[in-house]
Structure 1
Amino acid sequence: MTIVSTAPRVFMSYSHDDDEHRDWVLQLASRLRGNGVDVCLDRWDVTLGGNLAHFMERAADGIYRVIAVVSETYSRKCNDRSGGAGVEAQMLSARLYNELDTDAVIPIIRNNPNNPPELPAFLSGRLWQDFRDTATQEPAYERLLRDIHGVAVDAAPPIGPNPFEGRTEIQARLAIRDSPGRWHSPAFQGDVEFVFSQNSGRYKLGSGTSQFTLWIDAYGHDAVRAYRDPAGIANVAVIHRVRERTELLADVSQFETSSRTAIPHCGDALILHNGDGFWALLYIDKVYRREALNRESVVEFRYEIQPNRTPDFSGFAFPDSGGS
């Protein structure tokens, strides 16, 4: 009995810029195969004396998605229709023209120093993934792998009810004001000003499996107390004076996580670990009170969620103005 593979199929389209570039593509293709992707690569699938033109025709085959490794040389050859990249570009252009809304070709950027990068004409307007910076290649790789396997990186939240339906004007106004989306930052990183005297001190970060529910209350005049009680939060911890100890950000799992609470002051970092294995780091910039209709308790922080589930935040970008 013939066993048919259900692994997604990917064709690697790239230019042979130099040995280092060829080896980088080989490493990427090998890693993808190790993560459940059936990769078609010339170094594996074309033998001496084999038909190279026949191999390149696979770029037009609908059973494959195509990863286009867009270097400066690749863009030039595609536009000039020269070399193997030019042949593949011609076939891919026809494929994209016939299926205008397709995501059949995934451009990834490598050896392409321009900002924005120079893409071949046939890929103009297509969303690309940046693989130029070694510091961000891990999250870039996970995003690529998730896309190939059809596992969303940023999960769309469910559609809520119409706040105006079946409500009075005042009820609708209250429903809008108290909507959970008001206290939610779905991105992997950002700057937040949270009035934690609202919404019972709860604020959501991230989305899907990478979501965290931050639950805090006041602790003195320049600190907050964070809890691991919300569903999905496995651990909380604190790094004191984190700007002076940035070498410790390479592995934040080393900090004490056995307590129910963690108390970061201004200038400290709060570590969150959720039940799906994701890690988040929050730098506490300011904690203060301000007068409004009622006295408000406010915390300002910068946060980052590590999308590849590692506890490595060595590249964390601190805000320009640190806490006291």
Structure 2
Amino acid sequence: MTKVFISYSHDSDAHREFVRGISDRLRKEGLDCLIDLYVNGFPPEGWQRWMENQIEAADFVLLVCTETYLRRYRGQETDGGRGVTFEGVVISQTLYDHYYRNTKFIPLIPAHGSLEHVPLTLKPYSTYCLPSDYDKLYRVLTGQAEYIAPPLGKSVLCQRRMDTRQPPSTPTASPPSKAVSSDAPPNCNASPTHGQTPPPASSNSSLPAAQAKPNCCATGSTTPPTFRC
């Protein structure tokens, strides 16, 4: 059976009844919860040893954190509250001995409380606000997770996405265009088209003398030719 011990400060009668209500409900719902109010008179081993034994034997220790509890936990109050001061030493030392790997100590705050009242060594862990978070707390104490991870299935083979993009084409250089020389001589023998003036005849100096044709287009001759071109 799961054992639970509640560490709290006697702030007021109303606060004591609040703590007792938590303990009573936990006991009714199957958890062996203990508080000092259940002890008739005093324990035979004395309060100090009783507190130390309860903290050591419990599976969970609930700390009801208030402003008064924090002061006494840290030993900052010399007028009463020695029980919480002693429990604070035992709890801090237990955490220290276990390198602050905590599965045992659970901070609680009342509905009107504040997270600033949680001891520094317990701030890294979850804090429950009662009575609103009672169901969440009960799940932790009884090992009943609200959500259970589903069993692992087999891995699924995913389809690969093909790259349909075409690689960029390499631009090809166009062949250089042949430039037409403006120095080419006009072709005198070409037949002119309708409405065009025939170009002037070029010199036939490059032909052999026997094959040279008379230049009918030449100017400057005083004797008209006796043949037609």
TM-score, normalised on structure 1? 0.44
Output the CA distance in 2 between the equivalents of 1:49 and 1:91.
18
User: In 2 relative to 1, CA 58–81 (structure 1 residues): closer, same or farther, beyond 3 Å?
Assistant: farther
Letter paired with 2:110: R
Matches within 5 A, 1:182-261: none
| Match among 139, 142, 146 for residue 139 of structure 2 | 146
User: Quick one: distance in 2 between partners of 1:149 and 1:118?
Assistant: 26
Q: Give unmatched runs, 5+ long, in structure 2.
A: 162-229
Give the AA of the match of 2:52.
E
**Larger relative contact order (Cα-Cα within 8 Å, sequence gap ≥ 6):** 2
Report the counterpart of residue 207 of structure 2 in structure 1: none
- Is structure 2 residue 48 aligned with structure 1 residue 57? no
Give the one of 131, 149, 171 matched to 1:156.
149
Partner of 2:12: 18
Instruction: Confirm or deny: 8 A CA contact 2:5 2:34 kept in the other structure.
Output: yes
Partner of 1:30: 24
CA shift digits 1:8-50 (9 cap, x unpaired): 0001100000000000100110000000000111011352475
Instruction: Please report how far the alpha carbon of residue 157 of structure 1 lies from its aligned counterpart in structure 2 after TM superposition.
Output: 3.3
- In structure 2, what is the Cα distance between the partners aligned to 1:76 and 1:69? 13
Please, which runs of 5 or more residues in structure 1 have no aligned partner?
A: 1-6, 132-136, 171-324
Work out whether residues 6 and 35 of structure 2, in 8 Å CA contact, stay in contact via their aligned partners in 1: yes
**Which of 142, 153, 158 is the aligned partner of 1:167?**
158
Tell me the secondary structure at the aligned position of residue 117 of structure 2.
coil
Q: Which residue of 2 aligns with 1:105?
A: 105
SS at match of 1:12: strand
Change (3 A) 1:63 1:13: closer
Maintained 8 Å contact 1:11/1:58: no
- Residue 42 (structure 1) aligned to one of 36, 41, 44: 36
Residues 3, 32 of structure 2: 8 Å contact kept: yes
In structure 2, the CA distance between the partners of 1:90 and 1:97, relative to structure 1 (3 Å rule), is same
1:10 touches 1:37 (CA, 8 Å); kept in 2? yes
Displacement of 1:57: 0.8
What amino acid maps onto 2:102 in structure 1?
Answer: T
Q: Which has the larger radius of gyration?
A: 2
d(CA) in 2 for partners of 1:20, 1:98 = 35
Q: 2:69 aligns with which of 67, 71, 74?
A: 74
Q: Distance in 1 between matches of 2:41 and 2:146?
A: 37
Q: 1:126–1:64: structure 2 CA closer, same or farther, 3 Å change rule?
A: same
C-alpha separation between the residues in 1 aligned to 2:119 and 2:48?
21
State the shift of 1:144 in Å. Answer: 1.1
The equivalent residue for 1:93 is 92
Which structure has more strand as a fraction of its residues?
Answer: 1
- Residue 122 of structure 1 deviates from its aligned partner by 2.6
| Counterparts in 2 of 1:96 and 1:81: CA distance versus 1, 3 Å | farther
Q: TM-score, normalised by structure 2?
A: 0.61
Using the TM superposition, give the Cα deviation of residue 93 of structure 1 relative to its aligned residue in structure 2, in angstroms. 0.8
Equivalent-residue separation in structure 2 for 1:48 and 1:59 (angstroms): 14
Q: For structure 1, which segment, 97-106 or 27-36, has the greater mean C-alpha deviation from structure 2 after superposition?
A: 97-106
